[in-house]
Amino acid sequence: MEVKVAFTKENEDGKLQKQQLVYLIETLTFADAESKALEEVKPFAHLGSDIEVAACKRVTYDRLLLDEVGELKDKDTAFYKAKVTMNILDESGREKPTSFYLLVDDTDVPAAHKTVQNYLKDSVNDYTIDDVVKTKIIEVITK
């Protein structure tokens, strides 16, 4: 589930500012995803301010290509969603294009594209990397 949480936090100047964070949470239910996301932001929210789940949607990533589970490498990295189309033989023996999604943490789109290429380099099937886009996800929670 991809969960967007909105809350108010105090910045370095002592001023209150609204913020939205997006988490990718491995779970089966919306309620569990929302609960885990709320727990994640609770330490950052200004005391007494409302924390709300602004959005919660089911997403599918066929593989997470992450250096360290859930954590970004450093402040210069982000999570990128890569769409890959691979030609796979169906039951009748004909090639059928099948799309799937990968989540990669890297420094930019070209680096994420290269990471996907390295992951697929030993594939026996023909494939194309259709798209690599930066996401707003700040953390992957798999616990």
Mean pLDDT of the region 53-59: 95
Query: Is pLDDT of 55 > 90?
Result: yes
pLDDT tens string 80-110 = 999 999 998 888 888 899 999 999 999 999 9
Largest pairwise CA distance in the chain: 65
Model-wide pTM > 0.75:
yes
> What pLDDT does 50 receive?
85
Q: Which of the two residues, 118 and 14, has the higher pLDDT score? A: 118
Split at pLDDT 50, 70, 90, the class of 49 is confident
Report CA-CA distances (Å) from 106 to 33, 63, 79, 99, 134: 25, 15, 7, 22, 10
Q: For the stretch 24-49, what's the b/e string if a residue is b when 16 or more beta carbons lie within 10 angstroms of its beta carbon?
A: bbbbeeeeebbebbbebbeeebeeee
The gap from C-alpha 128 to its chain's centroid, in whole angstroms, comes to 21
Query: Is pLDDT of 23 > 80?
Result: yes
Domains of the chain: 1-59 (no CATH), 61-135 (3.10.20)
Report yes or no: 137 and 2 within 8 Å, Cβ to Cβ.
yes
Q: Where are the beta strands (DSSP E) in 1-114?
A: 2-10, 16-25, 52-57, 63-65, 78-89, 95-106
The β-bridge relationship of strands 63-65 and 16-25 is: unpaired
